[in-house]
Amino acid sequence: MEVSIPNIWLEYIDVIFMTFSVMLFIMFTFMGYFSTRNSLHYKNKNSFVDLSKIMASPLAPGITIIAPAYNEGLNIVENVRSLLSLKYVNYEVMVVNDGSKDETMQKLIEAYDLEMVAYPIDPNIKSKPIRGIYKSRQLSYSKLVVVDKENGGKSDALNAGIQLSQNQFVGCIDVDCLLLPDSLLHVVKALFQRSKKRVVAVGGVVRVANSCRISGGTLEEIRLPKNWLARFQLLEYTRSFILGRMAWGRIDSLLIISGAFGFFDREIALAVGGYDTNTVGEDMEIIFKIRRYMHERREPYTIEYIPDPLCWTEVPETVDILLNQRDRWARGNLETLYKHKDMFFNSRFGRLGLISYPYWFFYEWLAPLLEFFGFFTIILFWYLGIINWDFFFALTATVYMFSIMFSFYAILWDVTTYNNYNKSKDILTLMGCAIIEPFVFHPLVVCAAVRGNMTKLFRKKVGWGVQVRRGLASAS
Amino acid sequence: MFHDEDNSVPEKKDYVKLKIEIRDALKDASFRKVLTQILLDLQKDVAGDTRKKLNELYRQLDLHHDAYKKLNDWRWYVVSQGIIELTQMQVVDSFNFITKFINDRRGIIRKQAEIATVSLKPEGISYFLDTTKFSISEWQQLKLMEVLRVMEHFRPPSFKTWLVSGNRDVVLFALRLIRHYNQNDAAASIIELVKHKNERIKLEAILCIKEFCLITALDTLKAVFPKTGQATKIEILDTIATLGNEEDLEFLKKVEQSSSSFLVKNKAQMAINDIAPETFIPSKGILSQKELEASELAQEQHEHFITEEIGKIAAESKTTAIAPESVPEMNQELEVLSVEEPIQEQEDIEVFQIDLDTIEVDEDPEPKTPFENEEKNEPSFEIGVLDKALDSSINAQIGLLNNVEADVDMLPHEDLPEAAHYFDLSPEERLTFIALLEESATEKEIGLLEEVMQKEEDSEIRYRLFNILRAIQNKESGSENIETETTAIDSVFHSLFEYASDLDSKLILLREISEVGDEKEFPLLELLENDANPMVRQQAKKSKEALIERLYEVNSPKVTTDNTAVEEVSENFEEPIVDQETDPSENRLPLELCFLEEIGIGVERKSEPEIAFELTEEFYEEQEKRISLGE
């Protein structure tokens, strides 16, 4: 090949893609290793624990579960009933009605016999105005607090809940999520188990509840989703939660806690100003803020991760809703990374600045864009006639095999540790999904990520979008 | 496991044989492992003597030696497993082997060793607190407390000994144990610990102070207050609220004024109110004095206006009927007036109707909806918030005014003419009028009601009027709920009726009700009017009519129409009327007048006793003639 500027440019592209791919392999290999160690450690450690003993302990800390609800009239009563039946003594469920336009509030009032109560509200509370705070007249629902406020988005509703809570810890969840009865016991253990470091936040695995048999707010039978899109997402969640976050948790560099299941030390959450209401990636952004805050205070801290399947949620079953969701995630990523750009390769923030942030930048935000760009590069190379087809197919096959292997490994660990899907057919179906996922599901995710970035970069004003839920109560 | 020395010889032989077999099998490591696991699992499911026997069996089979071996393993989870086995099977002899791990650098082993130390011997807690060098996590403290809680024959040592420990987690745990076991003999140490740099220790010490009512600690609490975190400040204020007196008010007021935190300020106010009740009174959503005065003035104007307007209506309606087409216009105007100027602009006739409704709204405000602010829920003069039922009553009233020229006279007011116009109405109009009275009658209508009731012939209407009167009287005497509280069960006949075995008995009882019952029987009769049996229904209806007839017959205009009778009616409403015929003495003449019977003048048996007979002038004249004739 003759030496010319386009050729040099093409050489650089080769190097960039090669380096990127090799680094990706190395990172994923390490991730597999750390997650395995962490899983084994967790399993061994928790084989001695009897969580039920602490249920009635006088030292059990107070926890407020904050569940923002916006137009959740379909299932709100059942969802709250499920939250009220958790196995723990010292907790309250705070449902924040974020100015719903449907009958969410009315249904709550009727179902739980609510009445407006006098509740100390800080006049300087940083959220949209609060219309009223309701509690039940019935003793059996004494753990329930309903905050009715004007619409301000999920972050605003969570902020209102954090500020109104008077407990030491707050849990921020999606109201349509299903928590297993002993969830809070696991959370308390995670929050309290460290003696040298302060546990500022706890995150957990979110599992896919589509097609599961749910009755009376209780998960009765775990089933593989019938919808193929949901199956692909199940595989993706397994990879992400069982391998990805477990590995980051092992090296104490977790940068995201799912908005569906996250618990915080209330004092710290308030100190960092709660959730950012100007981003759609608020669950990631608050972790960045907390880590920054603790680093700056030079206080020993950690963010714990619970791999037990405690939280179950419904995932999108149609392409449109899935694309909207991933679009939003991509925008959230970009907004958060941009807001905390000073952390990029900044040794002042330790592992956070040198490993977590760069990884997130290159492999969570940039990767889909590079994949998209790479696709067109291949066409360009083919057009220019400079593509080495043997090398291309060999490299593509390697990447493909690696991706399948990584997915199989995630399935293996899922079966080894928690074994949610105990039918051989289910496991084989999941493996089948892993084989076809790069051709069917992955392009959708890449497209949504590109769309999200374009939307954000061209400053198009977009909110959360709409997610139509079938409702867990009817999922069965 | 359940072998006994008193067992029969064959059983003993079997036992020995089984033991030998197990001993042989125990040579196999995997069998031992499985057996150990089975015993550990079983141990969780049994209690009392069985558990003790199980623990003993574990030792007899020398399985604890395997656990001892585990203690020497290099893997942390194997060592931990060994400690757990020995703890669970209560191998007390292992105490000394386990305590050496109490300061192990591997966290999980250390934590298991701590639990084992506390669990195996009652004095374990003292040993642990004395020797531990590492910090104790909150989770570990929680578990240790749980171990102590379920431990048999545990006599807690005096935990104040460890308040001087160099390990701050030991101090914290000791404070918690002191509070848990109510060891209130360490006041000085606890008060001193309020000054600790660690917020958790400080907070726990404050909780102890509050629990043990250590009033002497108040000065220390006030002294440390400025240097504490928000949670501790709130706890200090709460403690002062519980233990403090008027001398602490100055401090609390200072905190209340100077604190920038809403929660601290709020807590300080609550503490002040606890010590000196009602120092802080509600201020949010309260009307100012000016607003209150304006409101009173408006109310007076409002009432005055009603009186005037009623007079006008009464006068005008006698000559001019209100045109039906003018009603919607008036409604519109009413709406505008009520929104903008609810009091001053009340010149239109329709405003009167608003006023009625406004009174209703004041008495029974619209239920609050969750989507309205408190301010929005306050009673309003807006017609938009009026109840639909009230709207319909307005319409009914409008209809009445439109159709009946003189109907305005029926509107309940003291200035209205007597019930003369009522009897000009058709039966349907009378019913509408009664319905209106049922909704809005006040004490001003008592005279009208009484008059109508005397003259009305329809017993059903009389009964409804009676109920209206009773409701007004109850309201006056502050017992508005009496009417609603009177139910079928209140009737003495209710239980008799329940136990009546056959239909005949029930019918007899119903007839009895009409003869001896009082108004308490009405709910029961109304209930029985809907009975499944048609005969019961019929008899209930008859009895009700008879009862109404009997109770109010005495006041009927047929008997008397003078004022005395009206007064009696009024009295009878307050107290149940006693059947006149039940007292035969009232039908007898006084002894000095008994001679009258001989000359043909007798008691009018069915009339009122007070006016039972009358002597005419002719009688006296005749008497005089007889006397003059010397008869």
Interface test with A, best of B199, B371, B375 (most A CBs within 10 A): B371
* Cα separation, B578 vs B586, whole angstroms: 12
| B337 min Cα distance to partner chain A (Å) | 30
* Number of A–B residue contacts, CB under 8 Å: 71
Bridge pairing between strands A91-98 and A63-69 = parallel
| Digit-coded pLDDT (tens) for B54-111 | 888 888 888 888 999 999 999 988 999 999 999 999 899 999 999 999 999 998 899 9
Q: Average pLDDT for residues A71-92, to the nearest whole number?
A: 90
Q: B371–A105: do the CB atoms touch at under 8 Å?
A: yes
- Which residues are paired to A217 by β-bridges? none
pLDDT of res. B627: 63
Two structure tokens written together for A366: 């940039």
Q: How many CB atoms lie within 10 A of CB A410?
A: 25
Rg (CA), chain A: 23
Is the separation of the CB atoms in A229 and A319 below 8 Å?
yes
- Sort A104 into a burial class: Cβ within 10 Å, 0-12 / 13-18 / 19+: buried
* Cα separation, A427 vs A238, whole angstroms: 12
pLDDT of res. B335: 38
Q: How many CB atoms lie within 10 A of CB B196?
A: 18
Map tokens 């907390």 to a residue.
Answer: A290
Q: Average pLDDT for residues A202-211, to the nearest whole number?
A: 91
Q: How many CB atoms lie within 10 A of CB A347?
A: 8
Of the candidates B77, B176, B373, the beta carbon closest to that of A44 is on: B77
Q: Helix, strand, or coil here: B92?
A: helix
**Mean pLDDT, rounded, of chain A:** 88
* Cα separation, B439 vs B428, whole angstroms: 17
pLDDT of res. A460: 59
Of the candidates B108, B145, B169, the beta carbon closest to that of A45 is on: B108
pLDDT of res. A149: 93
Q: Average pLDDT for residues A353-368, to the nearest whole number?
A: 91
All residue ranges of chain B with pLDDT < 70 are: 1-4, 281-292, 295, 298, 302-421, 459, 474-489, 495, 499-501, 552-631
Is the separation of the CB atoms in B147 and B116 below 8 Å?
no
Residues B460, B466, B469, B474, Cα dihedral to 10°:
-120
| A39 min Cα distance to partner chain B (Å) | 14
* Cα separation, A365 vs A357, whole angstroms: 11
| Digit-coded pLDDT (tens) for A96-142 | 999 999 999 999 999 999 999 988 788 788 888 999 999 999 999 99
Of the candidates B80, B262, B372, the beta carbon closest to that of A122 is on: B262
Of the candidates B112, B176, B180, the beta carbon closest to that of A48 is on: B112
Is the separation of the CB atoms in A217 and A178 below 8 Å?
yes
Two structure tokens written together for B300: 């007076």
Considering only CB atoms, which chain B residues are within 8 Å of A106?
370
Element (H, E) at A144: strand A144-149
Q: Average pLDDT for residues A60-87, to the nearest whole number?
A: 91
| Digit-coded pLDDT (tens) for A427-463 | 999 999 999 999 999 999 999 999 999 888 886 555 5
Q: Average pLDDT for residues A191-205, to the nearest whole number?
A: 91
* Cα separation, A462 vs A442, whole angstroms: 24
Q: Helix, strand, or coil here: B590?
A: coil
Bridge pairing between strands A130-136 and A144-149 = antiparallel
* Cα separation, B488 vs B508, whole angstroms: 18
DSSP state of B333: H
User: Structural domain boundaries of chain A?
Assistant: 7-36+347-462, 49-332
CA nearest B284 in A: which residue? A118
| B382 min Cα distance to partner chain A (Å) | 22
Two structure tokens written together for A30: 């390490």
Element (H, E) at A285: helix A282-297
A44 at B interface, C-beta within 8 A: yes
Of the candidates A48, A58, A192, the beta carbon closest to that of B84 is on: A48
Considering only CB atoms, which chain B residues are within 8 Å of A122?
262-263
* Cα separation, A282 vs A280, whole angstroms: 6
CA nearest A106 in B: which residue? B370
Of the candidates A131, A189, A193, the beta carbon closest to that of B371 is on: A131
* Cα separation, B271 vs B255, whole angstroms: 11
pLDDT of res. B412: 39
DSSP state of A226: S
Phi-psi region of B133 (alpha: psi -120 to 50; beta: other; left: phi over 0): alpha
- Dihedral angle sign, alpha carbons of residues A98, A103, A105, A108: negative
Is the separation of the CB atoms in B400 and B407 below 8 Å?
yes
| Digit-coded pLDDT (tens) for A37-63 | 888 888 888 776 778 777 778 888 999
| A123 min Cα distance to partner chain B (Å) | 8
pLDDT of res. B86: 93
| A59 min Cα distance to partner chain B (Å) | 6
Q: Helix, strand, or coil here: B136?
A: coil
* Cα separation, A151 vs A157, whole angstroms: 8
Give the amino acid at B393: S
Is the separation of the CB atoms in B521 and B548 below 8 Å?
no
* Cα separation, B552 vs B466, whole angstroms: 9
Interface test with B, best of A48, A100, A107, A168 (most B CBs within 10 A): A48
pLDDT of res. A458: 81
Interface test with A, best of B137, B200, B259, B260 (most A CBs within 10 A): B137
Phi-psi region of A385 (alpha: psi -120 to 50; beta: other; left: phi over 0): left
Residue A92 half-sphere exposure toward CB, CA atoms < 13 A: 24
The domain covering A49-332 belongs, at the CATH homologous superfamily level, to Spore Coat Polysaccharide Biosynthesis Protein SpsA; Chain A (3.90.550.10)
Q: Helix, strand, or coil here: B514?
A: helix
* Cα separation, B474 vs B476, whole angstroms: 5
Q: DSSP states of A455-468 as a string?
A: HHHTT---------
Q: Helix, strand, or coil here: B166?
A: coil
Quote the distance between the C-alpha of residue A93 and its chain's center. 21
Secondary structure in 3-state letters for B137-149: CHHHHHHHHHHHH
**Total-model pTM:** 0.65
